[in-house]
Amino acid sequence: MIGFTLLSVGLFAQSVADAGVKYNDGNTAYNDKDYAAAVDAYTEALNMAKEAGPDADELKSKIEKQLTASYLKKGLSIYKKKDYDGAIAVLEQGYAFADERNDTKYVTKFASVIAQIRGKKGDVLRSEGKLDDAYTEYEMAIEMKPDCVKSFYGEGMVFKEKGNLEAMMEKMNEVVKYGAGNAKMEKTVNAAKANAARALLAKAAEEFNAQNFEEAGKYIDLAATYAPFDEGTMNVFNQFADQVKDVPEMTDAINKAKEVLK
């Protein structure tokens, strides 16, 4: 019994030492920016540490921290190569690992980066005319980060291109809601306002040309909710106002919008 116990302790200690060696391998790879190798080494080290039991708890904690950071770095390095799906797969592994450990700091980081990359993928798909696929990516981004301004903007543009102005406004309003006061989102907020207003003004012109003056007025009112207009949008409005100036049915809507746009 005594001999067996001593043998077990010896193997136990050796397992901790082996985990330490593999942990150092991970550190070397991490410092060399070989994050794929770092993830592999830290994962192996963590498995060894788990087998070693309580004596490896301190080492296990260090390994977990480094492994979490390595998942993030690996995902970002893949993203830089524009391999969106590959990056997302790695980052989702990191997200799950951080979530399992209740590491809220890294859970938030992973969620933000995953949302950013899904949004970028959505933009690419939208530029290719794959609107439904793009929308799916934007939705997954928002699911990961509910205040993802750029993905709400992407969704708004999808609906704009589909001609669904009501849904477009709903999404662009979310852009304004979550982006207002955020200097980093100012450009996106301004783009949302401009695109929404121009789409609504175009619809007003369409209704006017069909002599649906009441409907045209409604769309002018809606466009004015995105005031102040940027210079380009203001030019569009002024051109339209000049076109309809001699139509009595349009006078009230145009004058009301001009008051808002002062």
Instruction: State the pLDDT at residue 14.
Output: 54
CA-to-CA dists, residue 14 to 27, 50, 54, 246, angstroms: 20, 13, 14, 92
Tell me, what amino acid is at 17?
A: A
Give the N- to C-terminal CA distance of the chain in Å, as an integer: 92
Residues of the chain with pLDDT > 70, as a percent, come to 95
6 has a pLDDT exceeding 70: no
Q: What is the pLDDT of residue 251?
A: 94
- CA 132 to mean position of chain CA atoms: 17
Q: What is the largest CA-CA distance in the chain?
A: 106
Q: Are 84 and 121 in contact (CB under 8 A)?
A: yes
* pLDDT(75) > 90: yes
- What share of the chain in percent tops pLDDT 90? 90
Q: Kindly report which listed range (4-18, 25-39, 193-207, 248-262) carries the lowest average pLDDT score.
A: 4-18
User: How many helices (H) and strands (E) would you count in the chain?
Assistant: 12, 0
* Dist CA 171 CA 52 (whole Å): 52
In whole numbers, what is the pLDDT of the chain averaged over residues? 93
pLDDT of residue 52: 87
**DSSP class of residue 212?**
-
pTM: 0.90
Length of the chain: 262
b/e 201-237 (16+ beta carbons within 10 angstroms → b): bbbbbebbeeeebeebbbbbbbbbebeebeeebeebb
At 23 the three-state DSSP class reads helix
Q: If you average pLDDT over residues 70-87, what whole number do you get? A: 97
Q: Residue 212: which residues within 8 A CB-CB, separation 6 or more?
A: none
Per-residue pLDDT averaged across 40-62, rounded? Answer: 93
- Cis omega (within 30 of 0) on the bond before 228? yes
In this predicted structure, the answer to whether residue 124 has a pLDDT above a threshold of 90 is: yes
| Rounded distance between C-alpha atoms, residue 257 and residue 262, angstroms | 9
Assigned token pair, 224: 């004015």
Q: How confident is the model at residue 8 (pLDDT cuts 50, 70, 90)?
A: very low
Q: Residue 262 has what pLDDT?
A: 87
The DSSP symbol for 82 reads: T
Distance, in Å, from the CA atom of 69 to the CA atom of 86, rounded to the nearest integer, reads: 17
The pLDDT value recorded for residue 9 is 45
Does residue 208 have a pLDDT over 80? yes
Structural domain boundaries in the chain: 1-79
Residue bearing tokens 């928002």: 142
Question: Mean pLDDT over residues 130-148, rounded?
Answer: 98
What gap in Å lies between CA 18 and CA 132, rounded to an integer? Answer: 50
What number of other Cβ atoms are within 10 A of residue 41's Cβ? 25
Angle at 21 (CA atoms; ends 20, 22), nearest 5 degrees: 90
Asked whether the predicted pLDDT for residue 149 surpasses 80, the reply is yes
